[in-house]
A = this chain, B = another copy of it.
Amino acid sequence: MTELERLGEMARKAALSLEGCTCKEKALLAAADALEAHCAEILEENNRDVEAAKESGMSKSLLDRLRLTPERVSAMADGVRKVAALDDPVGEVKKMWKRPNGLMIGEKRVPIGVIAIIYEARPNVTADAAALCLKTSNSVILRGGKEAIHSNLAIMRVMQKAVYDAGVPEGSLNIVEDTSREVATALMRLNGYVDVLIPRGGKGLIKSVVENATVPVIETAAGNCHVYVEESADPDMAVNIVLNAKVSRPSVCNACETLLIDSGFAHKDMLIEALREKGVEIRACERTLKLFPGLKGACEEDWYTEYNDYIIAVKIVDGIDEAIVHINKYNTKHSEAIVTESYEKAQKFLNEVDAAAVYVNASTRFTDGFEFGFGAEIGISTQKIHARGPMGLEALTSVKYIVYGNGQIR
């Protein structure tokens, strides 16, 4: 039995008794307190990661994501407290019905079992993911990146002790100490132990998971999002939404990457000007170039690109049909918005665009578990099975049919 299988066995065993455990909220609050109480120890371990990262020449922005401070540790603890305070979806019988033979069948929300999460540099994911899984009575096997390994292990150690002392079954929280690629791949193939794997990270990680995993996966996060300004759009609203979707936080997956402007929209100059003023580089289609000759031209590749930066592709389209065809061809099925005053066009866009979240007259930036009111987010699913869009606690659950009979046979 490998070390990973040993973790898997522990996790599976713990998962079987986690649903019946009634001290989870108390345990999460204890874990939050412990994170703050052991702040110095966590910062010390984090410093080892930061020093190693500096030596290896990590970029400033990545270093900033890696670095913990007393404030960030407190924020982490507060995040755990917020998860503890959420309503637990597990145990709810969503519906129950009676069959003609008298059988009563109920559909009960249950934990998934063992959830594996492979993630990258940010150490706060460790506390966040552990809390979300424990809250929903799932065991978790975390595998963070090597850049944050000392921070992740310290956070996990503190949380483990706190929750086990509070009565949570040992084996509920697990972290893989070996950060090699081989062990990550082995985790993706740990069938029989892992019920679902959620990767949280960049394209390279997602691609590796899709190619290698044999356990069920929930694919997350790539976002090539569009805003389509339809001809009837209110010009000021259009400018506000486009700017917000592009520049409020360009690095995130719900930011806008391509702007589609209807050829009939009379205020194209307002949109282009506003983007330029904010320092956004524009990659323009040929029709846009004719109207604004100073811009850089877009190539086919641009329509596929998630810039995650102050860059936007711009294309002029003739009507909503062309806009929808373009979006459905190039998008990653994440978030898409139309700005329009037309009832008919709004309905058509909502019906025909294929994406997790489709907006009328609002920014794509709202695709987020907190903004949707879920109180938490484990990631944003870009696949169509199990969960789509922002995943809250319910995405970490499954169902079980409970059937009450009195001797029925078939």
Q: Are B365 and A409 in contact (CB under 8 A)?
A: yes
Contact, CB under 8 Å: A240 / B407: yes
Q: Which of A80-88, A175-183, A393-401 forms part of the interface with chain B? A: A393-401
Indicate how many identical chains form the complex: 2
User: Mask for A353-379, Cβ within 8 A of B = 1, else 0?
Assistant: 011111111110111000111000000
Check B361 against A400 for contact (C-beta < 8 Å). no
In the complex, chain B residues whose CB is within 8 Å of the CB of A362: 103, 403-409
Q: Which residues, 97 to 151 on A, are CB-close (under 8 Å) to B?
A: 97, 99, 103, 105, 112-113
Give the interface size bracket for A toward B: 35 or more
Minimal beta-carbon separation of A198 from chain B (angstroms) = 10
Contact between B16 and A352, CB atoms less than 8 A apart: yes
Q: Are A383 and B211 CB-contacts (below 8 A) given A237-B407, A366-B103?
A: no
Determine if B400 and A356 form an interchain contact, defined as CB atoms under 8 angstroms apart.
Answer: yes
Q: Do B241 and A366 have beta carbons less than 8 Å apart?
A: no
Of A328, A358, A399, A402, most buried by chain B (CB within 10 Å of CB) is: A402
CB distance from A148 to the nearest CB of B (A): 27
A403 adjacent to B216 (CB under 8 Å): no
Candidates B241, B248, B354, B401; contact of A356 at CB < 8 Å: B401
- Flag whether A217 is at the interface (Cβ < 8 A): yes
12 residue pairs of the A-B complex, CB under 8 angstroms, read: A19-B351, A113-B354, A210-B214, A350-B402, A356-B400, A357-B400, A358-B403, A361-B406, A362-B403, A366-B408, A385-B398, A388-B401
The 4 closest A-B pairs by CB, nearest first: A362-B405, A244-B409, A384-B398, A386-B386
Sample of 4 further A-B pairs with CB below 8 A, known A356-B400, A356-B401, A388-B400: A99-B372, A363-B410, A365-B410, A388-B401
